[in-house]
Structure 1
């Protein structure tokens, strides 16, 4: 559940600006069966979980039933699997050497539907593993602390994470305190006041030193920043994004 730390008017203006800058158009409702390219729209895949196996990493998620799901890197390397009749899929891959950026993609016949999201695997899979989302909070897939990510674009900051239960999470930043209620999965997100400098964010009783956003320089790139990883990347429409991923608990 997403809550705001400042007034409704300011929140609405920031969300509208963010949506117009980088959010993809809302997808229409679709029936469960596989639809052809002639229908004009194919649902991109959604990466939901990751497990570390002896042979590497196993990703699971949902896509169009019967579709081929591909995780494609900028170098052209790809990892693929077919979704079953319920749309569930499982992709196995060896742990990468270093950091790896992947773009999820659905293929049905000659039709391909790349996702606006990015799957990022840091440090040979031993660091954070996260889905970076255009126009929404980053989704940590690894065992992250209660504050999983802070997304920023120079105009707003969006803190997000996952709680151990359903109890409200107390978040404190910029001299303000807000209790936010997690959703059914324990996930929460909260709009924070903008900040031009590093500051402290408290969530669920833990303290996190946000190092500030990563402005300027090439993108995508990953670097250590404080007790976490700071990421520069480009969302849909070329919008520059900065994401901080605190170290796993």
Structure 2
């Protein structure tokens, strides 16, 4: 039987309460829960890391072995490279002057499949870098404080971060304190009853979440606010999402 090449991607139009367990780890950017390779599915790209290099940035990750991985932006610019026999890929891109939102895509033969993830690069790679996805916590690829991100669809707040060690994380939001056990890689996430302008405390450190912004035309809105970057972005199905990425002082 000819192997099906088109990826079957399921995603939600908003933040799903059942998608994140309070004590469970968030998934890897794209591959968490993906079917096995022998199940007839094409593996869409998972962005795992990014680093600065002479003349630009280098994006690395995993995808369908032998497939052509493409990163596109809304203006039509594209960067591409082939995944090796193990599925690893490395793509060099020009350092953007400001903000850049890229859509990963895999091409195998005549077929192509777009990932539901988005790669966000702020301030030419000098600011936060994260993998964004509707219904899942943002995955910071840069150095981040105890609170890595707050994602919102305007109805709920999904807070997340990454810690070293195996000790539980204490999160206070909306007047309620909760302890979260980090998962693999130290990543943790939970849905919090926090409203715009409220303080979210992670292991004793306060973060003033500004809440979602006012929607404006375009796929990407970026502003510096409240000790971080607030980003309005459009995911698959034109779902509008908001992600706040805190930074340490001086960043």
- TM-score > 0.5 by shorter chain: yes
Q: Distance in 1 between matches of 2:143 and 2:80?
A: 24
Contact 1:143 1:248 in 2 (8 A): no
Q: Distance in 1 between matches of 2:153 and 2:114?
A: 23
Q: Distance in 2 between matches of 1:164 and 1:17?
A: 24
Contact 1:128 1:248 in 2 (8 A): no
Contact 2:222 2:229 in 1 (8 A): yes
Contact 1:223 1:229 in 2 (8 A): yes
Alignment of 1:81-160 (within 5 A): 81-160=81-160
Q: Distance in 1 between matches of 2:197 and 2:106?
A: 39
Q: Deviations over 1:133-172 (max 9, x none)?
A: 1110011111111211100112111001110222111111
Contact 1:155 1:194 in 2 (8 A): no
Q: Deviations over 1:27-63 (max 9, x none)?
A: 762326xx9xxx5x42210001111223321111110
Instruction: Structure 1 unaligned segments of length 5 or more: list them.
Output: 1-12, 19-23
Other-structure match for 1:200: 199
Relative to the length of structure 1, the TM-score reads: 0.83
Alignment of 1:229-240 (within 5 A): 229-240=229-240
Contact 2:104 2:117 in 1 (8 A): yes
Q: Deviations over 1:168-193 (max 9, x none)?
A: 11111111111111112011101101
Q: Deviations over 1:63-122 (max 9, x none)?
A: 011111111111111111111111111112221111111100111111111111111111
Other-structure match for 1:245: 245
Other-structure match for 1:174: 174
Q: What is the CA distance between 1:218 and its match in structure 2?
A: 2.4
Query: Residues 103, 14 of structure 1: CA spacing in aligned structure 2 closer, same or farther, 3 A cutoff?
Result: closer
Query: Residues 157, 105 of structure 1: CA spacing in aligned structure 2 closer, same or farther, 3 A cutoff?
Result: same
Q: Distance in 1 between matches of 2:147 and 2:19?
A: 25
Other-structure match for 1:21: none
Other-structure match for 1:15: 17
Relative to the length of structure 2, the TM-score reads: 0.82
Q: Distance in 2 between matches of 1:179 and 1:17?
A: 18
Q: Distance in 2 between matches of 1:145 and 1:71?
A: 28
Q: Distance in 1 between matches of 2:34 and 2:229?
A: 35
| Runs of 4 or more consecutive aligned structure 1 residues displaced over 4 Å after TM superposition | none
Other-structure match for 1:3: none
Other-structure match for 2:215: 216
Task: Say which SS state the counterpart of residue 104 (structure 2) adopts.
Answer: strand
Alignment size in residue pairs: 224
Task: Say which SS state the counterpart of residue 185 (structure 2) adopts.
Answer: coil
Task: Say which SS state the counterpart of residue 222 (structure 1) adopts.
Answer: strand
Task: Say which SS state the counterpart of residue 116 (structure 2) adopts.
Answer: coil
CA RMSD after TM alignment: 2.4
